[in-house]
Structure 1
Amino acid sequence: MSKIQKAPKPQEVQATIKEFTREFLGEVLEAELEEFLGYKKYERSDSDNYRNGYTPKSVKTTCGPIELLVPRDRKGEFEPQLIRKRQTMLDEIENQITALYAKGMSTRDIQEILSDMYGFDVSPSLISKITDRILPKIKEWQARPLKEKYFLLWIDCIFYNIREDGQVRKKAIYVVISIDLEGYKEILGFWIDGTESSRFWLGVLNDLKARGVRDVFIFSVDGLTGLDKAIEATFPKADIQRCVVHQIRNSLRYVSWKDKRELARDLKKVYGAPTLEVAEREFEDFSAKWGEKYPHVVKSWEANWEALTTFFRYPVEIRRVMYTTNIIESVNSKFRKATAGRRVFPTEESLLKCLYMAAMELERKWRRPIKDWPSIYAQLSILFEDRL
């Protein structure tokens, strides 16, 4: 009766895989040099360049660190493609580092994961250098050509702590999110600036124009200083809608807890009205009821009334897109998740890397037009017939 063969131990399997990987990498490097020189090993040739021994090299892989012998040529012109000169880890590890960074993990977290999984140490500075390789992609993405016309652009602001000149400063990151004329969502770019001004916004909007944008039907904004004037100067035909949800939040910020629910219910009668005329009557009732107790709320709505009620010019299907913030909230939620592990960013570039990779993940999920797009486009084709 034959003996039952014992199953190999996990460490034995790992050692076998590691040795196979080492042999495979060595064979590929030999094949690369053979292709470069133009003749096989031990084959006679008239070439004045030939093999010249090996250089030992340690490479980090998913099997752990592997010691390799990299073949050389006499002239030193051979450039391996599988494992490039000065490369200390395989591309698969670098891709994993970039993916973990995109998920919001800090360089220290990634360092610990690689150590636990593969048994080698990677310094935080090396992790930063690896993720820095996407910086040229970010510049290319930020300057990419855009479509000529957009149905709707949201401009939103998020604040992050960034270290600058030895101090931690809170800086605003402005993000522009769009819906094109096919109903697809897209992030057009990020802009960093310490202060809001008409000049700054002119720069942002002219950047969009320089990248090909010729017309925007509607802007949805959050009362950012100087933005309305910049929009009027660069896209004079566009309607401007002040974000109703942000206005409600600002209104409730200084309202007593016991009054919040009732006041919010009364405000909903205003922005949820079927027509502008009904909204004006509801606001008169709202002012009479709450004006004495919360005059700042009433004054804020009065001051911004025209921009807050732009959406009443449009059919219901378009209104929902204009005054709801579902798309903005989904973007902000993704950005918060991607940056949750970092209270302070060492540089602006480190923050942009996180936001860019989060934006790429979002856009991979945005593969369908927004809800009710055929109905919305039918309305747009009538309202903007001369601009489509």
Structure 2
Amino acid sequence: MSRDLISRVTDKVVDELKVWQNRPLDRVYPVVLIDAIHVKIREGQVTNRPIYVVVGIDCQGERDVLGLWVGTGGEGAKQWMSVLTELKNRGVADVLIACCDGLKGLPEAITEVWPLATVQECVVHLVRSSLRYASRAHWSAITKALRTVYTAATAEAAEARFAEFEQDWGRKYPAIIRLWRSSWEQFTPFLAFPPEIRKIIYTTNAVESLNARFRQATHRRGHFPNEQAALKVLYLVIRTPQRNRTNVTGRTGGWKTALNTLAMFYGDRITLN
């Protein structure tokens, strides 16, 4: 392929990326999944830069990447506020449930943009963070015990199971107890829902699966010369469907049952237009 042809193809992808990144999103998203990956970008010197990723599940159960944004430094709630505000300006009028990691200040940023949103901290992130404080020899026992907490039938039952966990592990690993207590308000919302909703919102795995494809694509390149080069590669990943899927993220399984349950909880905030 000639350099001229390569240049024209590159310019076309960049133009498509700009249109895609600024496309209107005039709809309600019952669920959004919020996460970030880090890539190496050269700006004088090579540094790790966060790229913010938001996946929305619309009222038809389709998952869609709503945008990609390059951050200026470490992942931060202020930068997330800018991202979420842009999404609202592009037409995301309402979000029912936002699932995110435990980044300090992020729940407040979400509810500043969408005041009625339920913020759910990703349980998988919470468990992984817990294991950072524990000896590997205890990982199996700790994850088994924590599973009884996040699979409890109610928030009250989860509190009882966590009290047992604290009694067994609190003296040895007080940092784990502190982590869960500080996250409790954002951990418990999904416990109010039946299983068909819980399995959709208790983890950001859907966006993490996409991030795994992003990492595979970026790892081969080492680092990028600039932000646009990094975004272009990630956009091409999004444009490339996986086998047996119409788009890169796919459709949410069991969505009709989940939608009916969401309608019971959120009423006319669910719109099927």
TM-score over 0.5 for the pair: yes
What SS does the corresponding residue of 1:376 show, helix, strand or coil?
helix
Structure 2 gap segments, 5+ residues each: none
- Supply the AA of the counterpart residue of 1:169: T
Deviations 1:280-303 (A, max 9, x none): 111000000000111101110011
User: Which of 331-340 and 213-222 deviates more?
Assistant: 331-340
Structure 2 counterpart of 1:230, from 81, 84, 109? 109
Deviations 1:221-279 (A, max 9, x none): 11234322221211000000011101111111231121111111001111111211111
Deviations 1:7-55 (A, max 9, x none): xxxxxxxxxxxxxxxxxxxxxxxxxxxxxxxxxxxxxxxxxxxxxxxxx
User: Which of 335-344 and 136-145 deviates more?
Assistant: 335-344
Does 2:199 align with 1:317?
no
Query: How big is the shift at 1:126?
Result: 7.3
- Supply the AA of the counterpart residue of 1:182: Q
What SS does the corresponding residue of 1:304 show, helix, strand or coil?
helix
Q: How does 1:29-44 map to 2 (within 5 A)?
A: none
TM-score, normalization by structure 2: 0.91
- Supply the AA of the counterpart residue of 1:179: I
Structure possessing the higher relative contact order (Cα contacts under 8 Å, 6 or more residues apart): 2
Does 2:238 align with 1:356?
no
Structure 1 gap segments, 5+ residues each: 1-92, 94-121
Structure 2 counterpart of 1:280, from 149, 159, 167? 159
User: Which of 339-348 and 365-374 deviates more?
Assistant: 365-374
Structure 2 counterpart of 1:365, from 244, 247, 259? 247
What SS does the corresponding residue of 1:386 show, helix, strand or coil?
helix
Structure 2 counterpart of 1:170, from 48, 54, 57? 48
Q: Is the 8 A contact 2:35 2:101 kept in 1?
A: yes
Report what 1:30 is aligned to: none
Report what 1:330 is aligned to: 209
Structure 1 counterpart of 2:137, from 258, 270, 279? 258
Q: Is the 8 A contact 1:184 1:366 kept in 2?
A: no
Percent identity (aligned): 41
Deviations 1:182-224 (A, max 9, x none): 1000000011112444442232112111111110000001123
Question: Whose Rg is larger?
Answer: 1
Calculate the aligned-residue CA RMSD, in Å: 1.9
Give the whole-Å Cα distance in 1 for the aligned partners of 2:250 and 2:170: 45
Matched residue count: 266
Deviations 1:147-200 (A, max 9, x none): 3200111110101110002x0111000100010011000000011112444442
Moved over 6 A (4+): none
Does 2:35 align with 1:156?
yes
Report what 1:383 is aligned to: 265
Going from structure 1 to structure 2, the CA distance change for 1:218 and 1:367 (only over 3 Å counts) comes to closer
Query: How big is the shift at 1:342?
Result: 0.9
Q: How does 1:128-143 map to 2 (within 5 A)?
A: 130-143=9-22
- Supply the AA of the counterpart residue of 2:188: T
Q: Is the 8 A contact 2:35 2:204 kept in 1?
A: no
Going from structure 1 to structure 2, the CA distance change for 1:378 and 1:271 (only over 3 Å counts) comes to same
